[in-house]
Amino acid sequence: MIGKLNHVAIAVPDLQAASAQYRDTLGAQVGAPQDLPEHGVTVVFVTLPNTKIELLHPLGADSPIVGFLEKNPAGGIHHLCYEVADIGAARDRLTAAGARVLGDGEPKIGAHGNPVLFLHPKDFTGTLVELEEVGKAAEPEAAS
């Protein structure tokens, strides 16, 4: 069902400093900040040859990232995002298997303009999981 790893999200207390560290110290390609009011975060994507890093910073006092950063003041890995071809089918399969979808269960549009859902970390070994619909590109490549 899941396809490739789309990104690893890291909550950071200082988005500008984290962006500079990835750009200047590690030599990575770092995008511009994007505000995502529906998700309560500002994000910056770091593009790597095989995946992306998403730097997350709170957008307002009600951001879900505020609590995470209170518990982890230096920041840390917040979630993993996997690609799926059909987010509705993935949600239905997961809920039938007993997994909990956070929020109202309906996909929201994420930073890439694609539908996303989050799965409860208690159902996935303590890891918050994001699913992002990317269409047929999410299908695993056939072995040759």
The domain in which residue 110 lies consists of: 5-138
Asked whether residue 68 is assigned to any structural domain, the reply reads: yes
- 91-111 per-position pLDDT tens digit: 999 999 999 999 999 999 999
Number of domains in the chain: 1
Q: Residue 126's domain is classified under what CATH number?
A: 3.10.180.10
Among residues 130, 132, 133, 139, which one is catalytic? 130
CB atoms near residue 88 (< 10 Å): 13
Q: Is residue 45 part of a domain?
A: yes
Examine residue 144 and state whether it is found in any structural domain, yes or no.
no
Question: Could you give the residue ranges of the DSSP H alpha helices within the chain?
Answer: 15-20, 64-71, 87-96
Q: Is residue 143 part of a domain?
A: no
pLDDT digits (tens, 9 = 90+) for 15-63: 999 999 999 999 999 999 999 999 999 999 999 999 999 999 999 999 9
What is the rounded CA–CA span in Å between residue 1 and residue 133? 11
pLDDT at 141 over 70: no
Q: Is there a catalytic annotation at residue 130?
A: yes
The average confidence (pLDDT) of the chain is 93
